[in-house]
Structure 1
Amino acid sequence: MIKRVVLFVIDSVGIGELPDAIDFGDLGANTLGNIAKDQEGIHLPNLKKLGLGNIDGIKGVDPVSAPLGAFGKSLEVSQGKDTTTGHWEIAGLHLSKPFKTYPDGFPKEVMDLFESKIGRKSLANKPASGTVIIDELGEEHFKTGYPIVYTSADSVFQIAAHEDVIPLEELYTMCKIAREIMMGDHAVARIIARPFIGTPGNFTRTSNRRDFSLNPPQETVLDIAKKHELDVIGVGKIEDIFNGQGITEAIHTKDNMEGIEETINYLHKNNKGIIFTNLVDFDSKYGHRRDAKGYKQALEEMDSRLPDIMNAMKKEDILIITADHGNDPTYKGTDHTREYIPIVIYGPSIKNNVNIGTRKTFADIAATISDVLNIPNTGKGTSFKNMII
Structure 2
Amino acid sequence: MKIHRIDVWQKDLPIQGPAYKMALQTLTALDTTLVRITTECGQEGWGEVCPLGPAYQPQHAAGARAAIGEVAPHLLGENPLHIERINSRMHQALCGSLYAKSAIDMACWDLAGKAYNARVCDLLGGAINTEIPSYYAIGLSSPEEASAVAIKKQTEGFQRLQLKVGGRALEEDIACIHKVAEVLQSGTALAVDANRGLNVSDAMQLSAACRDIRFIFEQPCQTYEQGLHLRKNCHHPIWLDEVIEDVNCLLRAIRDNAADGFGMKQSRVGGISQMRTVREICAVAGLPITCDDSWGGDLVAAACIHLGATVQPSLFAGSWIAAPYIQGHDDPQHPIKISNGRLKVPETHGLGVIPDTRLLASPVITFTL
Taking structure 2 as the reference length, what is the TM-score of the superposition? Answer: 0.29
Which protein, 1 or 2, shows the higher relative CO under an 8 Å CA cutoff with sep ≥ 6? Answer: 1
Taking structure 1 as the reference length, what is the TM-score of the superposition? Answer: 0.28
